[in-house]
Amino acid sequence: MALQAVHFYQTGTFTAGNRLLGETERAVQANMRRTNSLNSGHRACQGCGEALGARYAIDAAMQASKNRVIAVNATGCLEVFSTPYPETSWQIPWIHSLFGNAAAVGAGVAAAMRVRGRKDVRVIAQGGDGGTTDIGFGCLSGMFERNDDVLYICYDNEAYMNTGVQRSSATPPAARTATTMAVGAHPGNVFGTGKNVPLIAMAHNIPFVATASVANLRDLEDKVTRAMAIEGARYIHIHVPCPLGWGSEPKHTIQVARMAVESGLFPLFEAEHGEITSRYVLRRPVPVTEYLKLQRRFAHLFGKDPDVATIAAIQAIADRNIQRFGLLPTPTQTQMNADEAQMNAEKAKR
Amino acid sequence: MLRQIEGSLAVAQAVALCRPEVICAYPITPQTHIVEGLGEMVKSGELGGCEFINVESEFAALSVAIGASAAGARSYTATASQGILFMAEAVYNAAGLGLPIVMTVGNRAIGAPINIWNDHSDSMALRDAGWIQLYAETNQEAADLHIQAFRLAEELSIPVMVCVDGFILTHAYDRVDIPSQEQVDQYLPPFEPVQVLDVTDPVSMGAMVGPEAFFEVRYLEHHKQETALERIPELAAEFKRVFGRDSGGLVRGYRCEDAETIVVALGSVNGTLKEAVDEARARGDRVGSLAICSFRPFPLAEVRAALRHAKRVVVLEKCLAVGIGGIVSDGVRKALSGIALEGHTVIAGLGGRAITKASLLGLIERATGGELAQLNFLDLDWKVVKREIERQREHRRAGPAAENILRDLGRGLPPRGQDFGPPARIG
């Protein structure tokens, strides 16, 4: 079944309108029988985007595999806050080995399942951006290249949060971290660095690559569900705000994530075998300042004497993304949107 | 079945007979022929029910084995030299998680200078990582130890390294009795882990453990090794009952009973050593040798029992603990605490320098003549060393020693001092 778009106006509230949908069309989290794979009681910070993303992702994976998921976790916040010995929040078989080897350990688990004839058991390896784009990158690329039957999920909060907010190769330009201080002639992280791991994943020609955001949890669930139906190496890169590291309000986690998507700074797309197959279209792109202003890690760009040049450079990144990934509506889409709006207006009149 | 076979292939066949389920391969000389042999057996279908995975690094090789073992599959990999250092973090991790992985180390030196030949620097660097370390003397023992290793690993939930001297054993064609599948099946039961990643019985493995329990976990690793001290001789005895030959065990003495001088060593050099002992005996020296097969756990009691009546002990080591000397010697000294006898450390064979019978006979002669220092370097070219030390004294310059030696040679400078060695020796 194709994902049905759910509009807020269906309920007139800010909930995602599940109540108007048939049971089979509802979100995994709307299901009373959801597995709560990452159970409550863990020690994540208030407003943690990673905890939210992981709960939605793993529950969706569990539903898609009839509760047959084994998870491998890289060292990092998710590992530390979920398993302070002797407690664990995981309701699924779960293993943590090292910081940089989650993809390889996942490949090993998958090999054991294959040799034991357990094709029904699915393996997920997961880690933060440090464990994925930096220290675990070799193992990740190896897993992709061998097309191991593992879904790798990267929860990207754009720095090493577990060790105290140090720069990673996923830290955006101008962002303040503990190792890209907001001092000197060019405060924050330098421009022209970093890597785009979803695009690198696509270059491995693996069956499925997607980006997702906690701003669009329905889309996230859908992408995980579809990834679970595919064999081979799969990669989902989820943008997860970190209130502590980004200096944002815990209550703004979803809004911050949404502004990243809606500004074009974090494009949502899917790719199969190296080709982009769909993207999330921005109806009205918002200026990047709407995103940056919510976070103290960019505070040095604002204030009495705003750093217009740097803000413009960040806007240029968003604009390039919009162009590169085709995030603006095509004429047909624009027409469809207009038709839809008119239909709704007529409905409202009645 | 008796076969004339390369050491690596003998090991590969022994491993295959153990019915491994996941084998991870990453090339590094001199262990490559082992995984190549296994890969061929998997691909041809000769070894069924096994996944052979070509990984991108040694770090990944052991990590894949960790995942497979945690999920209940009998897992194997092989490495050497730089490879074991590259996977060092995973080496500790496998032990901490109690995963019964078996890994061959084709012993090789560690650079710089880069060197592919045999010594024990690689496995010695990871001696305290929580793995059992068994050192093979012959290719027959190398093959046999792998069969014992899987049994020991799975009984105690502890990983085992089988250390096989690179080239000297791995690349040597020798007569090896390859056991039958029935014999191995009789000796090695299927792998049944206590705890496994299982969707019907979820567990969390590898949790973050704080000061309240970490110490206990580490102690329990030590306890497992102490248990291994009891199990290794029992498993060797059982091995003899099934396979009809002596292989493994903790230590193996050769003509030690009335020996005044005993040379202690690990691995293949014990073969040459036995011949040297025989010749020394023939000329009237009361000499013996002691092979330590199990270096971790270190058999303190057995070493003490074997050496206590000797007058002097010479520990022959293929590894230099830079800044102090011997590593095996430390264990031997501990084993002999309270017993007054002469103790000598001899560093030998680094980077593949041949340890010849003539050298060993010379060594024994110097030992019995009371001419050995506490720390000795067998067949070290003192001419080259002294000249370089002298050069450094004259002109301090940071940089790699090997290249510094060549640099002066390249300039065509006349040899300084009287005892300058021939250039061919250096290059």
CB contact under 8 A, B66 and A142: no
What number of residues does chain A have?
A: 350
Chain A: residue whose CA lies nearest to B21: A115
Query: A241 near A214, Cβ under 8 Å?
Result: yes
Asked whether the predicted pLDDT for residue A12 surpasses 50, the reply is: no
According to the model, what pLDDT value does residue A20 have? 66
Contact list, B202 vs chain A (CB under 8 Å):
90-94
Q: Do A84 and B55 touch (CB under 8 A)?
A: no
| B97/A97 Cβ within 8 A | yes
> Can you give the pLDDT at residue B411?
63
Would you call A95 and B70 a contact, using CB atoms and an 8 Å cutoff? yes
pLDDT of B425 reads 35
Tell me the pTM: 0.94
In DSSP terms, B104 is beta-bridged to: B78, B162
B47 contacts chain A (CB < 8 A): no
* Architecture of the structural domain at B2-243: 3-Layer(aba) Sandwich (3.40)
H or E element in which residue A336 lies: helix A331-349
Average pLDDT, chain B: 94
- B59 at the A interface (CB within 8 A)? yes
A16-66 per-position pLDDT tens digit:
555 667 777 788 988 888 999 999 999 999 999 999 999 999 999 999 999
Q: Concatenated DSSP letters for A240-269?
A: ---HHHHT--GGGHHHHHHHHHHHTSS--E
Tally Cβ neighbours within 10 Å of residue B264: 29
Mean pLDDT on B413-421: 43
Contact status of B92 with chain A (Cβ, < 8 Å): no
DSSP code string of A106-123 = HHHHHHHHHHTT-TT-EE
Nearest to A203 by CA among A146, A273, A122: A273
The CATH number of B254-377 is 3.40.50.920
How much is the pLDDT for A207? 98
Average pLDDT for B88-112: 98
pLDDT (average), residues A182-188: 95
Q: How far is A310 from chain B (nearest CA, A)?
A: 40
What DSSP line would sit under B313-344, residue for residue? EEEEES--BTTTB-SHHHHHHHHTTT---EEE
* Residue of B51, B199, B206 lying closest to A97 (CB–CB): B206
Give dist(CA A347, CA B368) in Å, integer. 107
What is the pLDDT at residue A337? 65
| pLDDT classification of B410: cutoffs 50, 70, 90 | low
Residue B314 pLDDT exceeds 90: yes
* Tens of pLDDT, residues B185-198: 999 999 999 889 99
pLDDT band at residue B27 under the 50/70/90 scheme: very high
CA distances for A321 relative to A281, A333, B82, B245, B381, angstroms: 12, 19, 42, 70, 64
> Contacts of residue B59 in chain A, CB cutoff 8 Å?
100-101, 104, 138-139
Query: What distance in Å separates the CA atoms of residue A53 and residue B415, rounded to the nearest whole number?
Result: 70
Q: Considering only alpha carbons, which residue of chain A is nearest residue B208? A: A84
Note whether B203 contacts A: Cβ–Cβ < 8 A: yes
- Rounded CA-CA distance A48/A45 in Å is 5
Lowest mean pLDDT across A24-38, A178-192, A211-225, B377-391: A24-38
Question: Does the pLDDT at position B374 exceed 80?
Answer: yes
Kindly report the length of chain B: 427
Question: When comparing pLDDT for B20 and B422, which is higher?
Answer: B20
Report chain B residues whose CB lies below 8 A from the CB of A68: 199
% of chain B with per-residue pLDDT over 70: 95
Integer Cα distance of B28 and B108 in angstroms:
10
Q: For residue A104, give the nearest of B67, B70, B213 by CB distance.
A: B67
DSSP string, B119-137: -SHHHHHTTTSS-EEEE-S
Mean pLDDT confidence for B102-121: 97
Tell me the nearest-neighbour CA distance from B144 into chain A, angstroms: 25
CB contact under 8 A, B199 and A84: no
Per residue in B117-146, pLDDT (tens digit) is: 999 999 999 999 999 999 999 999 999 999
Question: Could you say which of A83, A101, A112 has the minimum Cβ distance to residue B59?
Answer: A101
Contact A104 B97 (CB under 8 A): no
B66 inside 8 A of chain A by CB: yes
For residue A26, the model assigns a pLDDT of 82
| Closest CA of chain A from B64, distance in Å | 4
Residue scoring higher pLDDT (A270 or A348): A270
pLDDT given at position B197: 97
Q: What integer best gives the mean pLDDT of chain A? A: 92
Tell me whether residues A85 and B213 touch, CB distance under 8 A. yes
Q: What is the mean pLDDT of residues A250-278?
A: 98
CB-CB under 8 Å, A116 with B66? no
Domains (range + CATH), chain A: 12-349 (3.40.50.970)
Stronger pLDDT, A18 or B354, i.e. the higher one: B354
B87, two tokens? 């996977």
What average pLDDT score do residues A139-150 get? 98
**H or E segment and range at residue A234:** strand A234-239
Chain segment B248-295, per-residue pLDDT in tens: 999 999 999 999 999 999 999 999 999 999 999 999 999 999 999 999
What pLDDT, on the 0 to 100 scale, is given for residue B413? 53
What pLDDT score does A10 carry?
A: 47
pLDDT at B417: 42
Which of A97, A98, A113, A162 should we substitute to test contact with B (largest number of B Cβ atoms within 10 Å)?
Answer: A97
Q: Is the pLDDT of residue B427 over 50?
A: no
Check: CB of residue B152 under 8 Å from CB of residue B235.
yes
Q: Which of A68, A70, A115 sits opposite B73 (nearest CB)?
A: A115
Q: What is the average per-residue pLDDT within B372-388?
A: 94
CB atoms within 10 A of CB A286: 17
What residue ranges in B270-415 does DSSP mark as E strands? 287-292, 294-296, 312-317, 342-347, 375-377
Nearest to B68 among A83, A108, A145 (CB): A108
Q: Is A151 helix (H, G, I), strand (E, B) or coil?
A: strand
What pLDDT shows up at residue B421?
Answer: 36
The per-residue pLDDT for B419 is 38
Q: Who among B24, B204, B209 is closest to A90 (CB)?
A: B204
